[in-house]
Structure 1
Amino acid sequence: MHAKTPLIRLSPRLAAGLVLCLVLTTLSGCGGLFSGSKTPPPTPQAPAPTPTVVTPAPPPTPVSQNTVAVLLPLGGPFRELGGKVQKGIKAAQDELAAAGTPLDVIVIDATQPDWVNTLRNLPPEVGVVGGPMHPLTLKELQSTGLLQSRVFLAFLSNLGEAREGIDAWRFFPSAADEIDALLRLSLTNYGINQFGILRPGDRYGQSMGEAFALATAQLGGQITATGVYSPQDATGWDATVLEMLKTGGGRPGFGAVFIPDDWTRADKVLANFFRNKVDDLLILGPQLWTEALYRAAANKTPININNYRLAVCPGAWWPESQGKATQDLLAAMHAVGEDHPDMWEALGYDFTRFAARLGRLPQGTPPQEVSSRLAQAAKGMDFSMAPLSYGPDGRAHVAMYLFRPSVAGPVLLDPEGFRQRLNAIRQKALENPAPETEQSYSPNPAPAAQPGAPVPTQPAQPAQPQPASPATVQPAQPASPAAPKPQQQQPAPLEPVPAHQRVMSVS
């Protein structure tokens, strides 16, 4: 009898569960029953991010070392001068930018109605303002209280009621600078200690005459005669001069005369000395003469040069200077079509470069610190105009050049050659009119400079320049046929005649 295999009957629910488990195990290892026989698939990885393309950043824009403002008259009667200063500013900005030290300059037109608000709304970091150029603008700054808000470097010869070195500072030559140059030549260098003043009866003549008298007394000199004439009435000019000459018995009791008047009128007043047979005075003129001589030369206007054989006048601009700053400015001006730049372009050019050296001056900087910073910035600076410096009190001083008038315009004075001419004329050694060559100012003319020879730079103290060969100051010119031959065996005395034979005593 065969044994029967027992038949195991599964319930439908259990059978369905086993089938489902087998399917799940195959797919995902359900319950881990068959995990040893199947390797689970790797976990899907997230796709790698697309690499970012980095664009090289452009080089940073140069940041200005400083920002300053200038207050200029770009309209009205002074617009031409303001425009010249602006051209000088632009030339300096281009130069600074090329050197990698750019300077921002905010130009404010002082002839616009809203210039006060524009100035008041400047950013606080703008601590330095160049200008103003007009006394009325300076007065308005005082009345509005803006003069104390920033450091103003005024383009004015004086600050009126404002206190220099406290309320504001100057960046401009003064009348005192002009007089200082004239007196250092005549009194200090030449030993002339008695002076006459012949001036017009107007405000300018009075202020300049008083300043000259004060400076003369401070240096140990004397004013021995003063003549005041009407600017409008030419009929009295000769009488005024004659009255001055009577003080010395028909000869003036002074060796030099200061005539603070404009060139056109002074030229006519001066002729009265020669009409009265006085032709050996040292004639001292203001900077107005130098400016007029430049204009006359540019316009080819003739001048009566025989009246100015012994005349000198100061100036703050010498375009023949071989200094680098002057030559750079001339090149920049010529590049934009300016053939005859003058002191006003030099003023804007020097102020901008000076402001870059000065750096920022925060609002509220004490005046003493401002003056110290100004003095430090001016020290060693290569100016295109006459060198400017600041004293401990904040007062500016410009070491002005001295010129003699010529048909070609102002010519830088050779003090030693001029000394010899002064002596020769006073000794009546020269009877012919002075030829218009620089060599005629010395009995022993030096030979012309050879090509390639070094050109002398501007003197450190233009009022007392070092003796130099006249031919090195400007190209040699052919001597006039009227020129007297040099008398080498009889050199002129080393010291000038201080005054005339009869000198008026001072009571």
Structure 2
Amino acid sequence: MPTMKIHTITPPFLRTFAMLALAALFLASCAPRLTVPSADLLSTPNLIVEADAAWERRNYEAAELYYAALLERPDLTPDALPKVYERLADSALRSGHNHQARIALETWANMDASVVRLRSWERLYLDTMAALNRGERLRNHLRWLLATSDLPWETRADAALWYGEYFRNRGDFDRSLETLAEFYAQAPSTADRAAMEAAYRATLQSLDNTRVIELSRAVTAEGQWRFPYVLVGFERGVRDASDKAAWSGIWRTMRTLAARGELVERAPLEQTLAALEARFGLPRVGVVLALPLSGPFGKMGAGILRGAGLAQWRLAQDAMDVDLRVINTDTPGWEARLAALPAHYSVVGGPLQVQNFRLLSEGAKGRRILDTRAVFAFLSSLGELTEGRDAWRFFSSRDDEVRSLVRLSVDQLNIKDLAIFYPEEAFGRTMAETFYREAAPLGARVRGMQSYPPRELKEWSRRVARLLKVPADFKDNKDAPLDPPDFGAVFLPDGWSQAQTLLPNFFFYEGDQLLYLGTSLWSRALDSARNIDEHYYRLAVCPGAWWEGSEGGRALQAALTGEGLGQADLWVALGYDFVRFAGKLGTLPAGWNPADVNERIASASSMDFSMAPISWDGQGVAMQEMYLFSPARNGKRLVNAATLADAIAKARERRERRLEAYEKRIEGGGR
């Protein structure tokens, strides 16, 4: 143990000297001002009786004096020493004589090193070091406790709870919970873990609301299911349960923690929750999906509905009652039917189409559908409305797509000079503007921009040549290598079918060493694409919100397979994730405001997504971390930045070799 020097063998004369010195120090300096002769007049057996009586009466100053005096007695038997030292240290500590407590403990340990294995010695030692404000020594001792296997688990478990309280009382809530988690992970048996859980549950129940709230702020999304975080989160729910307006969301969080907490004993949580349910009722959540179930977008709507139905079923298995209503946005008057629903249908997912979303914002402020229900649009943008105030998004944005592409180019491939080649229509212009706006803050420079008419295919080649600054006499000497462009990547905000025509044009003008950045339209099309000519797409990248090989994607597919519900895709994942998210969000209280929704989002979003995870900032603005893919022969594959960088380097080397070969031919007089 690094905190003190301990000898396992002490010569008798040194032992006697140590006891006499300790007793003298207590009697002469810091011991309480009681009549010393009264101790001298007592025989050793009677002095033991008086010392024990004083300690049991909690007259710690007298007990400290008597136990110190006992150490002077040559006829004190060795078997009495452990109790004398322990009670001397305890009495001194309780009397405020912290240094004397330390001396007693260390003298005792130097005489018998095995005492450090005792829970009583360990607890007294920790209390004494804390009273002496020996923070560094306590931290060193903690490291030793976590590393050693010499102490009984009961002693270490008791120390774990002590350190949890020590850090908590100093406002270091992260360290308090981390320490408990570290010791819990070392518990030798399930019984030991269960005992630690029970002890910490009792600790949490004894804390006031302020302390529980402070601890709950240290619970992370990654650790929320583990001890002690799961117990803290659950206890926070217990304290907040009386809030009628928030009970629905609180109940769902507590229910999930009780069902999924990685604990030995979850029964106490379930019993507590059952008592709260009996008191406050079992919440019911109303969720609406506004989807096209017919027409050109009907297939997407059907996929979302399939995922939503699976989520509703699985939530029901966890006793979470989600009342799901579906409104077909492809039929006239759908918005009126949405407005007429009871108030507890307070959360809406969808719609999928911009023109339908606009219908929800019609009417006077305060009387719009957006003002009475929290709408999470399945759109990349809310247009002129303010995200997090008028409505919310449950879908990737243009910024998400652009951000993922620029970060790959700049941060991982060190390509900072970029260009944009966009179609002359609304989507292309908007994406080009977004790319231009986002590039500079992320460390990129846009070196070139060129538009092209989307329906005039013959013009595309000329526009590509203009972007690449191909000289006018190129056709007269096609063997002469072209100068490389002053950018290393091109953003192509158009669909996959257009990309299949565009990229060969770039290759015709020796653009085979450029990185081609596509949109999520590519990714969705590639889900069903086959027999792709990979020659043009080795250096092509596109973002996507769905990857079947992700952990969440595999879990969703397993759930679908188990219920005989077919294959997963982006739309199924969207419905599955949204209903589970809405279930955690809960029924909004009457008179809710955007701040209420944003506050609930913070906890509801801490879930396992099947698609790319979505997060929201404090203002309710969503951000999705997109996956990045490259086209492959039969679909797409996840981008490996190192492999892509190597492919770019090889393409540049091939260009250099062509240039060198051409120069040699010119020097040799060849053509």
> Given the two structures, how large is their TM-score scaled by the length of structure 1?
0.69
Alpha carbons of structure 1 residues 187 and 382: separation in structure 2 relative to 1, 3 Å: same
Whole-angstrom distance in 1 between the partners of 2:416 and 2:656: 24
Residue 336 of structure 1: how far off its partner (Å):
5.6
Give the SS at the match of 1:317: coil
Q: Which moved more, 1:327-336 or 1:359-368?
A: 327-336
Whole-angstrom distance in 2 between the partners of 1:116 and 1:178: 30
Percent of pairs identical after alignment? Answer: 41
Does the CA contact (< 8 Å) of 1:69 and 1:106 recur in 2?
Answer: yes
Q: Which moved more, 1:110-119 or 1:94-103?
A: 110-119
Q: Which residue pairs with 2:182 in the alignment?
A: none
Q: Confirm or deny that 1:180 pairs with 2:403.
A: yes
Q: Which residue pairs with 2:551 in the alignment?
A: 322
Gaps of 5+ in 1: 1-59, 432-507
Does the CA contact (< 8 Å) of 1:290 and 1:313 recur in 2?
Answer: yes
Q: Which residue pairs with 1:256 in the alignment?
A: 489
Gaps of 5+ in 2: 1-277, 472-481, 658-671
Q: Which residue pairs with 2:577 in the alignment?
A: 350
- Which one has more relative contact order, counting CA pairs under 8 Å at least 6 apart? 1
Whole-angstrom distance in 2 between the partners of 1:94 and 1:272: 50
Q: Which residue pairs with 2:350 in the alignment?
A: 131
Does the CA contact (< 8 Å) of 1:424 and 1:430 recur in 2?
Answer: no
Match of 1:332 among 545, 551, 559: 559
Deviations for 1:42-100, whole angstroms, at most 9, x for unmatched residues? xxxxxxxxxxxxxxxxxx9x955412111111122211111111111100011111122
Q: Which residue pairs with 1:169 in the alignment?
A: 392
Letter in 1 for 2:623: H
Q: Which moved more, 1:282-291 or 1:412-421?
A: 412-421
Deviations for 1:320-363, whole angstroms, at most 9, x for unmatched residues? 1133xx33321333356554321000000000111111122124
Deviations for 1:26-45, whole angstroms, at most 9, x for unmatched residues? xxxxxxxxxxxxxxxxxxxx
> Given the two structures, how large is their TM-score scaled by the length of structure 2?
0.52
Does the CA contact (< 8 Å) of 2:406 and 2:444 recur in 1?
Answer: no
- Equivalent residues in 2 for 1:92-241, closer than 5 Å: 92-144=311-363, 145-241=368-464
Match of 1:312 among 538, 541, 560: 541
Whole-angstrom distance in 1 between the partners of 2:500 and 2:656: 23
Letter in 1 for 2:292: P
Whole-angstrom distance in 2 between the partners of 1:375 and 1:212: 28
Q: Which residue pairs with 1:277 in the alignment?
A: 510
Q: Which residue pairs with 2:527 in the alignment?
A: 294
Instruction: Name whichever structure is richer in helix by fraction.
Output: 2
Letter in 2 for 1:406: A
Letter in 1 for 2:541: V
Q: Which moved more, 1:388-397 or 1:238-247?
A: 238-247
Give the SS at the match of 1:349: helix
Q: Which residue pairs with 2:632 in the alignment?
A: 406
Q: Which residue pairs with 1:76 in the alignment?
A: 295
Give the SS at the match of 1:97: helix
Deviations for 1:169-221, whole angstroms, at most 9, x for unmatched residues? 00011111111110111012222111011111111111001100100022232
Deviations for 1:88-113, whole angstroms, at most 9, x for unmatched residues? 11000111111222311111122222
Q: Which residue pairs with 2:135 in the alignment?
A: none
Whole-angstrom distance in 2 between the partners of 1:340 and 1:426: 41
Whole-angstrom distance in 2 between the partners of 1:363 and 1:278: 59
Whole-angstrom distance in 1 between the partners of 2:376 and 2:590: 14
Match of 1:375 among 587, 591, 602: 602
- Size of the aligned set, in residue pairs, is 364
Q: Which has the larger radius of gyration?
A: 1
Whole-angstrom distance in 2 between the partners of 1:64 and 1:410: 43
Does the CA contact (< 8 Å) of 1:150 and 1:363 recur in 2?
Answer: no
Q: Which residue pairs with 1:425 in the alignment?
A: 651
Residue 137 of structure 1: how far off its partner (Å):
1.1
Deviations for 1:259-304, whole angstroms, at most 9, x for unmatched residues? 11111111111111111122100111101111111111xxxx3222
Whole-angstrom distance in 2 between the partners of 1:182 and 1:128: 32
Whole-angstrom distance in 1 between the partners of 2:629 and 2:566: 21
